[in-house]
Structure 1
Amino acid sequence: MFFNRTTPIKIIKERLMGTIIKPLASQLHRPSPTSKALVLASMLGLGLSACQPNTVEQTDTAVKNDNENVSVTQINQTATTAKPVVYQVFTRLYGNTNTTNKAWGTIAENGVGKFSDFTDVALRDIKSLGTTHVWYTGVPHHALVNDYTDDGISNDDPDVVKGRAGSPYAVKDYYNVNPDLADNPANRLAEFEALIGRTHANGMQVIIDIVPNHVARNYHSISAPKGEPDFGANDDKTNTYSRHNNFYYVVGEDFQVPQASDGYLPLGGETHPLIDAKFAESPAKWTGNGSRLAKPDANDWYETVKINYGVKPDGSHDFPALPNDYANKTAAEHLAFWQAQAADDIPDSWRKFEHIAQYWLAKGVDGFRYDMAEMVPVEFWSYLNSHIKHTNPNAFILAEVYNPDLYRDYIHLGKMDYLYDKVDLYDTLKAIIQGKASTAAIATVQAKVSDIDQHMLHFLENHDEQRINTADFARNPFNALPAMVVSATLSRSPTLLYFGQEVGESGAENAGFGQPTRTSIFDYVGVPAHQRWMNNGKFDGGQSTSKEKTLRAYYQTLLNLSHTATALSGEYRELDRLQRQNKVVGYDDSVFAFSRFSDTQQLIIVSNFSQVQGKQFTLELPSSLIQAWHLLENAKLTDLLKNAQLNQQLILNKDGSASVNIELSPLQSVILGVNK
């Protein structure tokens, strides 16, 4: 079964039911929840307000003054006392100024961004959005189609590479970085180390990817420390499975390249000396998504091979079980548990990834984002994360997990700091924007994670998801602003912003492998709206449209507020049901209200998701909330999104409740600060 770039997402998901695949074009790297569950079964158990954009000159000065002589310790302290903002950059695309955008274009034709493009000006611009952590996506050296043999790097076979620039999730060498990103590929690691230093100097932390479930089919490290063997170097290839094997094997069969369709021929059908529908691998290894076929399907993750974590082919575990009461124990106690186990009981792959994490921590990396973490047993995460936290207690650990039934295990037993809130909050907000769900669903999904809300990272875009500014999502970037306000303020969790989101990037380019509506992660391409803001490295919006500038200013205000408002690190109180039970006139399925508060700040947050209708109603606050605020009299209100004091007041009623008149334009949100 194969899907081209025009196949509707809904049809793709329906056709994928009952198959064990990771769709390459329709959903890029992330499988649908249905196909993902089957993969796991196979392997693990068989009114925008008027805002004026700040100028870069003003922002630069502020950041310079705030971050002179900043230390990593100070950065870590800041990160642990405020709600984080994570800015994800696709590193090879961020600094690219080339606008050619030829499908399947070479690096010479379409250009590529470099580590050096993250200048102090660029980093101050990122910082101006309230950013506390920069997630540099695509840094570890992954398979790609470019010739770096002069630097001692072997060529990669396009038959097992997706796109020309390659998938960042087919890592080829965990002890070095993508040579495309360096001005001097021979000096690539030092150039990344310099970027780590610049990021820290500008008051932000560094996150990179670790992809635990799979590695590139042609994994080979030329940079590993002495005595660190490659994945698979010591495997017993005569057995399908052995505890200390790094891979699973299809014994007696050689690997065969999958049959590609015309739409996704390697390099789009271009002639290349290595394109021959052959790749030498004997015996064949299991494919990254769990396919046990020597010839995987074209929709399988054929460019990768599955890592063995001591899970036998029948799904049983070949490593020590973590006692259930360890859900209540600290990372230090988890570390002590693993240190007490016999050395031979710990699968070799566990140790390899622990060494990799420690290598990057020593380079100054502050945290990791784990790809498809639920495809790896939770005991491994306890092992790895307890070691990481021993080295850096403030390390930022984010995991891609899509099964809500597993959230608490991966947080409490696996010692993850943060998980994607994709299946519940993101999907709900997207449905509301598209008119397919009521805003009442927000309170429902938030209640489901009330005990772990601070661990659920919120986003509206990332590299796997469709851009907001597409017909398949919101049609217009401004249509998603109410959802962005809710996403950024609903809980104590971090907020993720994907580069270009803040200027309405549409991801409309046909880059080659993959599908428009998502900015390509497989090919060399420019990112037009971001390029206009970047303005050849000035980062002043000199080429941006007025709408792009206005949109970015809104994001800048919102995200800085989300990071600095003490109430957003405090308590949440849902107000939605109260309005619906009382049948408040004007409060309907397009409106959502809630409160966030701390001892020092009280906020009322109301959003109108309607694109066409304004809303007028009296919002009612229960007496229990007013008591928690210790409010004794009427209070003035400030709209923090506009930074303006309002004429209306919060009126205290005789029964101890309170009320405030709300008037919202289409797509408008208000964040009302209570001035006691």
Structure 2
Amino acid sequence: MDKIIIYQIFTRLFGNTNTTRKHNGMLDENGCGKMNNFTPATLRRIKELGVTHVWYTGIIRHATTTDYSTYGIPKQHPAVVKGNAGSPYAITDYYDVDPDLAVDVEKRMKEFEALVKRTHKEGLKMIIDFVPNHVARQYKSVAKPEGVVDFGEDDDTGKQFSPMNNFYYCPGADFAPDIDLYHGCEEPYQEFPAKATGNDCFSNRPGRNDWYETVKLNYGVDYCDAGGISTHFYPTPDTWLKMRDVLLFWAAKGVDAFRCDMAEMVPSEFWTWATKEVRKKFRNVKFIGEVYNPARYREYITAGFDYLYDKVGMYDCIRDVVCGYRPASNITHQWQNTDDIADHMLYFLENHDEQRLASDFFAADGMRGVPALIVSTLMRKNPFMLYAGQEFGERGMDEEGFSGRDGRTTIFDYWSLDSLIHGYCSRRQLTAKEKALEGIYKKVLNIALTEKAISDGAFFDLMYVNPTSENFDANKQYAFIRKYKKETLIVVANFADNETLTKLNIPEHAFDFLHLPKGMMQAEDLMTGEKSTVCLSCESRLTMNMTPLSARILKIKE
């Protein structure tokens, strides 16, 4: 099988060369990236980085304060839009492309279809978001196919819950959140009866920290039943049918995979049904789930998901190792927790929800993430994901507007990033440090793609025979072996700031389990190209010099 490397791109930011960056700036002030910015040359550069799949974040039309009413697109009230650009997870039309991303708004779907073709032509797979749990307050489809009934159009709004309603209601109550409902307009935003809010707030008074700009979708789960929570899945709820049709619509456009937002907030019974329905027509479509509760991982894999975020386990652990809060040896515990579903776990160090690795809130320097990159990418067969700009050390320390200075790259504001401008639009501006980090990412990701020991090989954790000692620091070093046929990779990552002489134990069990050769062998360090002669033995230790914040990847051929 091929190793999957996903490159997440916040489409609105990518290709935007406008450096005005006005705080809370509008589209005409700060500019916006376009789908047409993904030229064949740009896509080739992304592929050369070592990428197999591109996740274009924010493709489907969502709430924004920008007025596109002259194009027949309903205007949104700013009180229920977060930021001027708006959240890509407050969908206003499941069948439409976000107009911000189009050069010609009236041809936005054609521009998307052309993007799909260009992406595929360069040998890349396409991923887009599927947002199943909630929609924008003012959802209204203007692009739905003929005969499609809109969400909520046939709801009985006099009922708090009905299995055939698309939304949940607060009968007889106005929408009255803890926010300014005018937001600079002459008339306030009004909603009667109030609909339940996306983060399972079933009152008409969500707080300012709730997802007040969204409406919860009803999949046949009554959260307010007098006896507790009850489910009503037969006959098939109307929302299930509508969402299946949305998935089929985009799959027919050539989308190869869906990253499913907050998948665990939607019942697994729906996913079991929907993934089967989609694969009846598009058998190779993949589903990637945002599931944060490890106790439910297996439930959602059984329901049809190919991959799930390993956030609470591996991401949180490796972040703590980078920051010095946990020993590197704790990585062993994390992979053991999901060993039976290892191929389904998606590893990452950044995404749009998390703080940038190089931010002051995380590691403060992209180079400090190099050992984490190598461990996350090379340890197992499962996919790895990086976030555009990560390979250049994007710091995420701007205060853009709605998104404050929090170490994250904004998903709510019109903005641009120097790291992406340097990397893809004006490479002459790349700093030496950006070039160096990009070079490391390119090398590591391509090792993952080309080395069969990584994509198909066995894995052996060496930490249990290398406890902290004079010659090995299990707090700062992590070591493992990958083996495929007659090729062996020995990987030692050094999370420490200092250079060290490491002596590595390889147990007899590793030789038996992996059928490792013994004796003097020729080795090449895939990170440096350095060749050496090493002794593989369970009786003597493998000695190597470790530079700070780095890794040795020794390739040995029999």
TM, length-normalised to structure 2: 0.96
Equivalent residues in 2 for 1:505-524 (5 A)? 505-516=394-405, 517-524=407-414
Amino acid in the other structure paired with 1:650: C
Judged with a 3 Å threshold, the aligned counterparts in structure 2 of structure 1 residues 182 and 467 are, in CA distance, closer, same or farther, namely: same
Aligned to 1:450: 339
- Report how far residue 648 of structure 1 moved: 3.5
- Report how far residue 275 of structure 1 moved: 6.2
Q: Deviations over 1:304-359 (max 9, x none)?
A: 00001100123544345xxxxxxxxxxxxxxxxxxxxxxx6111111111000000
Equivalent residues in 2 for 1:342-353 (5 A)? 345-353=235-243
Q: Deviations over 1:484-507 (max 9, x none)?
A: 111111111101010000001111
- Report how far residue 558 of structure 1 moved: 0.4
- Report how far residue 295 of structure 1 moved: 2.4
Equivalent residues in 2 for 1:511-660 (5 A)? 511-516=400-405, 517-536=407-426, 541-569=427-455, 570-580=457-467, 583=469, 585-611=471-497, 613-627=498-512, 628-645=514-531, 647-653=532-538, 659-660=541-542
- Report how far residue 658 of structure 1 moved: 6.1
- Contact (CA 8 Å) 2:31, 2:414: kept in 1 or not? yes
Aligned to 1:363: 253
- Report how far residue 248 of structure 1 moved: 0.4
Amino acid in the other structure paired with 1:619: L
- Report how far residue 659 of structure 1 moved: 3.6
Residue 330 of structure 2 is aligned to residue 417 of structure 1: no
Residue 205 of structure 2 is aligned to residue 318 of structure 1: no
Q: Secondary structure at the match of 1:380?
A: helix
- Contact (CA 8 Å) 1:140, 1:175: kept in 2 or not? yes
- Contact (CA 8 Å) 1:637, 1:650: kept in 2 or not? no
Amino acid in the other structure paired with 2:156: D
Residue 201 of structure 2 is aligned to residue 291 of structure 1: yes
Q: Secondary structure at the match of 2:545?
A: strand
Amino acid in the other structure paired with 1:236: D
Equivalent residues in 2 for 1:339-418 (5 A)? 345-412=235-302, 414-418=303-307
Task: Please give the alpha-carbon distance, in whole angstroms, between the structure 1 residues aligned to 2:494 and 2:312.
Answer: 23
- Contact (CA 8 Å) 1:567, 1:600: kept in 2 or not? no
Equivalent residues in 2 for 1:160-559 (5 A)? 160-259=80-179, 271=184, 274=185, 276=187, 278-312=188-222, 313-314=224-225, 315-320=228-233, 345-412=235-302, 414-516=303-405, 517-536=407-426, 541-559=427-445
- Report how far residue 616 of structure 1 moved: 1.1
Task: Please give the alpha-carbon distance, in whole angstroms, between the structure 1 residues aligned to 2:528 and 2:116.
Answer: 35
4+ residue runs over 6 A deviation:
none
Q: Deviations over 1:601-656 (max 9, x none)?
A: 32111011012x212122111122223234144221111122332x2313335xxx
Task: Please give the alpha-carbon distance, in whole angstroms, between the structure 2 residues aligned to 1:196 and 1:658.
Answer: 54
Aligned to 1:61: none
Q: Deviations over 1:104-161 (max 9, x none)?
A: 1011111100000000111011111111110000000001011111111111110000
Task: Please give the alpha-carbon distance, in whole angstroms, between the structure 1 residues aligned to 2:556 and 2:508.
Answer: 15
Judged with a 3 Å threshold, the aligned counterparts in structure 2 of structure 1 residues 256 and 205 are, in CA distance, closer, same or farther, namely: same
State which drifts further: 96-105 or 634-643.
634-643
Unaligned runs of 5+ in 2: none
Task: Please give the alpha-carbon distance, in whole angstroms, between the structure 2 residues aligned to 1:571 and 1:228.
Answer: 49
Judged with a 3 Å threshold, the aligned counterparts in structure 2 of structure 1 residues 410 and 435 are, in CA distance, closer, same or farther, namely: same
Judged with a 3 Å threshold, the aligned counterparts in structure 2 of structure 1 residues 317 and 584 are, in CA distance, closer, same or farther, namely: farther
Amino acid in the other structure paired with 1:318: T
More helix as a share of residues: 1
- Report how far residue 394 of structure 1 moved: 2.2
Q: Deviations over 1:193-238 (max 9, x none)?
A: 0000000000001100011110011010011111111110111111
**Among 544, 551, 554, which residue is 1:669 paired with?**
551
Q: Secondary structure at the match of 1:199?
A: helix
Amino acid in the other structure paired with 1:578: V
Q: Secondary structure at the match of 2:496?
A: coil
Amino acid in the other structure paired with 1:93: L
- Report how far residue 303 of structure 1 moved: 0.5
Aligned to 1:143: 63
- Contact (CA 8 Å) 2:360, 2:397: kept in 1 or not? no
**Among 115, 120, 124, which residue is 2:35 paired with?**
115
How many aligned positions are there? 552
Task: Please give the alpha-carbon distance, in whole angstroms, between the structure 2 residues aligned to 1:137 and 1:182.
Answer: 14
**Among 92, 95, 99, which residue is 2:12 paired with?**
92
RMSD: 1.6
- Report how far residue 584 of structure 1 moved: 5.8
- Contact (CA 8 Å) 2:396, 2:409: kept in 1 or not? yes
Task: Please give the alpha-carbon distance, in whole angstroms, between the structure 2 residues aligned to 1:632 and 1:433.
Answer: 34
Judged with a 3 Å threshold, the aligned counterparts in structure 2 of structure 1 residues 275 and 545 are, in CA distance, closer, same or farther, namely: farther
More strand as a share of residues: 2
State which drifts further: 387-396 or 370-379.
387-396
Task: Please give the alpha-carbon distance, in whole angstroms, between the structure 2 residues aligned to 1:642 and 1:134.
Answer: 28
Task: Please give the alpha-carbon distance, in whole angstroms, between the structure 1 residues aligned to 2:492 and 2:536.
Answer: 17
Residue 21 of structure 2 is aligned to residue 101 of structure 1: yes
Judged with a 3 Å threshold, the aligned counterparts in structure 2 of structure 1 residues 473 and 275 are, in CA distance, closer, same or farther, namely: farther
Q: Secondary structure at the match of 1:393?
A: coil
- Contact (CA 8 Å) 2:521, 2:533: kept in 1 or not? no
Unaligned runs of 5+ in 1: 1-80, 321-343
- Report how far residue 562 of structure 1 moved: 1.1
- Report how far residue 662 of structure 1 moved: 1.7
- Contact (CA 8 Å) 1:214, 1:288: kept in 2 or not? yes
